Chains A and B, each alone.
Chain A
Amino acid sequence: MGKYILARAVIAIPMVFAISLVTFVVSNLAPGDPVTAMVDPNTIAVMPKGYLEQRRQQLGLDKPMSVRYVLWLGQLVRGNLGYSYFNGISVAERIRIRALPTLELAGAALVIGTVLGVVFGVVAALRQYSIYDYVLTFLSLFGLAIPSFFFALIALYLLSYKIELFPAWGMSSTDEFSLLDNLYHLVLPASILSIELMAGTARYARTAMLEVLDSDYMNTARAKGLSEFVVVGRHAFRNALLPLITVTSLRLPFLFGGAIIIEFMFAWPGMGRLAISAIEARDYSVLMGLTFVVAVVVLISNLLADVLYACTDPRIRTG
């Protein structure tokens, strides 16, 4: 198994370089130049000659793209993601502050979506063709079809304005941090972010369970005289849901994408909101850093999922 994990990890390294190259090139395709973008066009006309050139040199923008990439990469491996073109604040620092709220939100949605999705899907499979099964199939379909911001609007309308049950924005109501208050603010955004994942997971778990329940080894297990609980709980459940590790890890990019919208709507101070404000300000150094960080997080999660899958599936473990 060590060999398998090593092989996966070795593939990941060139992927990180490729990600860095793509982010760099894309960000540099942006029209205009951050130096002129920073300055009011009216002042450019009256500025001393050579000032813009000087700024460009300071920011290293006068060098060719390939040289700038190597310089950027050199800083990157030291953990320096560059500085905002606008206010000079370190990009790594800005992302670091925003990382925790996003991880909290996305992590909570991941747990809610996976756990409830599995429960709903498995129960639907065990009671195939029951009313419950139909209702669930119907709901999961709508869970996948209705955009998350529509769910968010409905939730805000009903639960924050009509009945003032949940706070509409932010991650705390006081300056002082209190876990309970924080979790209270987390309920609405995390539940809405989890809907898409939950619906997808429920559908997957249902299909996978039905397939396994239909297989010959289930009859073998029953013929051995095992109790139904052990048959379903140990034999069916495990085999049906192991691939879910991989399936869920492939959905992570969508979870981060969804977090952008949810953070925006609930004024949740995470990386998604940072992304939106960076887009509005055309602050490409921040966008570059964000894309790189998120892509690497997804890559590492996929790697972890591979490892986890290898640990739990004996066919890979021994092979």
Chain B
Amino acid sequence: MSTSDATRLAAVLTDAPPRSRRTVWRRFRRHRVALLGLGILLFFGFGAVFAPWIAVHDPNYGDLYNVKAPPSTEHWLGTDAGGRDLFARILFAGRVSLSVGLVAASISAVIGTIIGLVSGYAGGWVDNLLQRFTELVMTFPTFFAILILVSIVGPSVFNIMFVIGTLGWTGKARLVRGQVLSLREMDYVTAERAIGASARRILFVAILPGVIPYVAVASTLTIAGAILTEASLSFLGIGVQIPTATWGNMMSAAQGIFVLSEMPWVWIPPGLAIGLTVVAINFLGDGLRDALDPRSVSD
């Protein structure tokens, strides 16, 4: 038995005390690809947060003497058909795209965790009902449902976050339920029960902390998914409306043949921004999973 096996066994026997933050960071740091992901995200995040100070031009101001201009020293990424500076737009678009991802994933995480906790802890008919409900939501073609709901509630940024968030929790609900099922049989939970702890205390103090790392890792994927969904909606013209810039709606101009074939600087940079961000989030998620998972081998 190697030392890592021994520590793993010890961890299991003592009911896996939560890893300290320092250990998590130390393990995460060793994951080179995850660091690269973090770097890319910090880069885009920095651009989004400090957009007003980085961009020289107003993202919504049309310079009518400079429409459809290719990249130059004045306009780093060129201008669109309305003469708007695309570098400024891509920075400001990052604000919308990234916050839609974060907020929608947080909404999903909260809903998924609550449904999973209740389902796994209550068991019986409650569990059965919630599981059928989860399956029902999974059967629905999510993108289709999002399209329709957004068209009903109106395409504001908040509505889009909300709709994507309320339909993206199914995976997390199942994950949390599975975790709860195994955690509630653990000795320390039995001990809590033996000293007469309330159901609320058992759920939130004993079980929830053991579930959160898994939800966090799964949520990285949800953030990526939400960013892609928002981009698709906005590209189709059903999501966030112009003049507010998002990476998705910046590309919708390429639906016209002229912009597509003659002005590639309009649609290639936002496409790359989406792709890089999503790849970076996936890298980060891989690193987090390896750093947080008590069963992962490398220590």
Contact = CB atoms under 8 A, between A and B. Distances in A.
Interface string B32-72: 00000000000000000000000000000000000000000
Interface in A266-319: 275-276, 279, 282, 287, 290-291, 294-295, 298-299, 302
B143 interface: yes
B254 to A, nearest CB: 5
A291 B139 contact: no
B143 A254 contact: yes
B140 interface: yes
A15 B135 contact: yes
A256 B144 contact: yes
Interface string A153-164: 110110001100
Range for the number of chain A residues in contact with chain B: 35 or more
A27 B142 CA distance: 15
A70 interface: no
Given A260-B147, A276-B236, A145 B135 contact: no
B257 interface: yes
- Interface of B, secondary structure class, is helix
A204 interface: no
A298 B141 contact: yes
A253 B141 CA distance: 4
Contact of B261 (A144, A145, A146, A157): A157
Given A253-B143, A264-B236, 17 more contacts: A15-B132, A15-B136, A26-B148, A27-B148, A142-B275, A144-B278, A147-B232, A149-B231, A149-B232, A149-B235, A150-B251, A153-B251, A161-B261, A253-B141, A261-B235, A265-B255, A279-B148
Interface of B: 132, 135-136, 138-145, 147-149, 151-152, 224, 228, 231-232, 235-236, 238, 248, 251, 254-255, 257, 260-261, 264, 267, 271, 274-275, 278-279, 282
6 contacts: A146-B271, A153-B271, A253-B143, A256-B143, A256-B144, A260-B147
Interface of A: 11, 14-15, 18-19, 22, 26-27, 29-31, 141-142, 144-150, 153-154, 156-157, 161-162, 168, 250, 253-254, 256-258, 260-261, 264-265, 275-276, 279, 282, 287, 290-291, 294-295, 298-299, 302
